Chains A and B, each alone.
Chain A
Amino acid sequence: MVAVVGGLVALVVLCVVALRVGAFPITWHEFFHAFLHGTGTYTDQILLDQRAPEVLLAVLVGAALAVAGAVMQGLSHNPLADAGILGITQGASLFVVVGMAYGGAASYVSFVWWALPGAFLGVMFGYGLMLAGRGRVTPLKMTLAGVITGSILGSITEIIVFLNPQLQLSYVFWATGDVDGRNMAVVYATGPFILVGVFIAVPLGRALNGLGLGEDVARALGQRVERTRAACLVATVLLAGAAVAAAGPIGFIGLAAPTCVRTMIGNDYRWILPLSAVYGAVFLVVADIISRVVWAPFVIPSGLVMAVIGVPVFMFLVSRAKLVTV
């Protein structure tokens, strides 16, 4: 219970903090003015047009990546899994690079419309092949198919960047991942996918617990294994695809958030899934706050903050905690 209440309270507090701090600090008076009866003053504009979409996206993207990671870990029985192993990230990256190189895409908002179809196609390529193949689809085969598809798509991306060196800078920036500079249009474009994905994924906890005992046991318990798998895949594609489209491939949340949650409450997916959403959101909001405060008035990418601060913290936790494997 502490983990649940603490996480939610932390999330709300952090969101308020994230809205108030930055290159231009906002007072409480201005804060309530903007949200209760905004009249379009300068601070109203900063809050509503710049910070609100950013914080909203941080919450959505953080939650999406964390839940997608947790679902993949449960589905593949592999504690190292996250949405990256499905080929989603790489598919989205490939399409964004193609967009940059040949499609004239230049702004973060326009990247969304390249990344979304890329994410979906990346997954469908791998799983289409898997379903077309012979034999039973095992978690191992699924995992490998996703990783391999991802590697192939990733290599094609690298070749395009290799042949167009002028893209390197903008590609590396996008690939670091960030929520800065996104507007409400990005939220409207990707938010619905994420919400639907969360609604599909969170009720799957019971089924994933069953699958964790092995496919045969799950079947014997009366579960429809195929249906669970299909639901997991759909949810992950929606969540990770939209998240990558909105913020770039922010790595690590998908691995770290479920791992941390698991050390707090044990290996029960009924709790892991919703709590991963909360803590994933907390992680990214914290990263967003730090990215705006540490070098103000400049903003550093929150994906970078995630790696520079989040990873060592995670390493410390991992070296102390008694680890619970999948």
Chain B
Amino acid sequence: MRHHVVLRSERSDVSLRLPVRPMLVCVGLAVAVLISVCFATAFGAYTVSPVDVARALVGSGGHLAVFVIRTIRLPRVVMGVLVGATLALSGAIIQNLTRNPLASPDILGINEGAAVVVVWMILHNEPDNAIPLGAFLGAVGAVAILALLGVRRHFSAFRLLLMGVALNMVLGIAVSYMLLSPAAQNVQIQQKITEYLFGSVGNASWYYIRLIFVGLLVLVPIAMMLGRQLNMFQLGEDVAVSLGVRTTVLQISFFGVAAMLSALAVTVAGPVGFVAFVSPHIARRISRTASAASLPVAMGVGAVLVVLADYIGKRIIAPVEIPLGLMTTLLGAPYLLYLLVMADRDTGVG
């Protein structure tokens, strides 16, 4: 199979060199996203037949079906898709940039920053609809601290990672400390905090969807346009410098994009764990490339993972919901393990 398809226009100087396998995988994943979206929309405590789903989408059909589909299920599923894609892209950028397979926004303290503020808010009985704002402020605050402490004149991505890990630890302890405080011993409050800390797309609404969609519209093109330089980074920082990449500017802007993506996701869905770490790994393995071509693949993987995890977590021991953050791990981890164990040749992605 040819590895790349080259598209050239006869008249202008524009040309595109597209990797074949990642593109095919992307198409496959797009289909998988569509199928899981339809599936998760049609099935639930109240089953709607596919025909009625289609009818409800265009606005005709019974009131109950329209309500269930358009107000309850569809926002939740669509938000799952967007949150998954956002987290996965954030993780893919950070892993590619640092060339460190253990790196992900989860360990940089961004989620914990949001968690600190939100847990404090829950303990002080702040209204529920203020929680996303608090989460956003917490996440942005953590990013600001990280930038303040981790960015020095001689920029080092490794220093930034270490700072993030340390920040994550401090904030994590702050959350634990609040969990041990007397106010947190009220069963209702305790449950609310626990539920929040696992992340959820259960409070989805079209408003949040618009929010995250606009964010993606801005950030994804930036990430894709910088992808070429990201590829050079894969060869090592010294090589990238000699190829004319302005490494410091590039690294800081990539970290910025990844941090903003992560902050966006935690704002609307809380700290959903593991998606950002695992999706890029799965993407690199199924698309057999570690280049920037694996970024869109990772987004697809993340989307499918979150939608399926949400659906299964909701249904498997209904009416009890298994938290989203746990289901993403229980689905994603065994699959990556399977890919690792079955990898019978060196694909250049480790």
User: Which A residues form the contact surface with B (CB < 8 A)?
Assistant: 78-81, 85, 129-130, 132-136, 138, 140-141, 143-145, 147-149, 151-152, 154-155, 158-159, 162, 165, 168-169, 172-173, 175-176, 251-252, 255, 259, 304, 307-308, 311-312, 314-315, 318-319, 323, 325
CA distance A141 to B339 in the complex (A): 10
Q: Does B83 contact A (CB under 8 A)?
A: no
Given contacts A80-B100, A147-B102, A323-B158, contact A135 B333 (CB under 8 A): no
Given contacts A140-B101, A141-B340, A144-B281, contact A311 B323 (CB under 8 A): no
- Which residues 159-187 of B sit at the A interface, judged by CB distance below 8 A? 159, 161-163, 165-167, 169-170, 172-173, 176-177, 179-180, 185, 187
Give min CB distance, B314 to chain A, whole Å.
15
Give min CB distance, B137 to chain A, whole Å.
22
Inter-subunit contact B176/A165 (CB<8 Å): no
Inter-subunit contact B344/A144 (CB<8 Å): no
Inter-subunit contact A143/B166 (CB<8 Å): no
Give min CB distance, B308 to chain A, whole Å.
15
Inter-subunit contact B191/A165 (CB<8 Å): yes
Q: Does B47 contact A (CB under 8 A)?
A: no
Given contacts A154-B329, A158-B326, A323-B156, contact A134 B161 (CB under 8 A): no
Give min CB distance, B143 to chain A, whole Å.
15
Indicate which residue in A144, A308, A312 contacts B101 across the interface (CB closer than 8 Å).
A144
Inter-subunit contact B342/A133 (CB<8 Å): yes
CB contacts (< 8 Å) of A314 on chain B: these are 166
The 21 sampled A-B contact pairs (Cβ below 8 Å) are: A80-B162, A133-B340, A133-B341, A135-B346, A138-B350, A143-B102, A145-B337, A151-B274, A154-B329, A155-B330, A158-B198, A162-B194, A175-B176, A176-B176, A255-B165, A307-B169, A307-B170, A315-B166, A315-B167, A319-B150, A323-B162
Indicate which residue in B274, B323, B345 contacts A135 across the interface (CB closer than 8 Å).
B345
Indicate which residue in A138, A152, A318 contacts B159 across the interface (CB closer than 8 Å).
A318
Q: Does B205 contact A (CB under 8 A)?
A: no
Contact with A along B2-33 (1 / 0, CB 8 A): 00000000000000000000000000000000
Inter-subunit contact B346/A136 (CB<8 Å): yes
Inter-subunit contact B158/A79 (CB<8 Å): yes
Inter-subunit contact B158/A319 (CB<8 Å): no
Chain B interface size, as a band, is: 35 or more
Indicate which residue in A133, A140, A147, A325 contacts B158 across the interface (CB closer than 8 Å).
A325
CB contacts (< 8 Å) of A129 on chain B: these are 337, 341
CA distance A131 to B345 in the complex (A): 15
Inter-subunit contact B176/A130 (CB<8 Å): no
CB contacts (< 8 Å) of B232 on chain A: these are none
- Which residues 171-229 of B sit at the A interface, judged by CB distance below 8 A? 172-173, 176-177, 179-180, 185, 187, 190-191, 194, 198
Give min CB distance, A220 to chain B, whole Å.
19
CB contacts (< 8 Å) of A141 on chain B: these are 340, 343, 350
Give min CB distance, A47 to chain B, whole Å.
30
Given contacts A129-B341, A141-B343, A307-B170, contact A318 B179 (CB under 8 A): no
Inter-subunit contact A78/B101 (CB<8 Å): yes
A315 nearest in chain B by CB position: B166
Top 4 closest pairs, chain A to chain B, by CB: A133-B341, A140-B350, A134-B344, A307-B173
Q: Does B149 contact A (CB under 8 A)?
A: yes
CB contacts (< 8 Å) of B63 on chain A: these are none
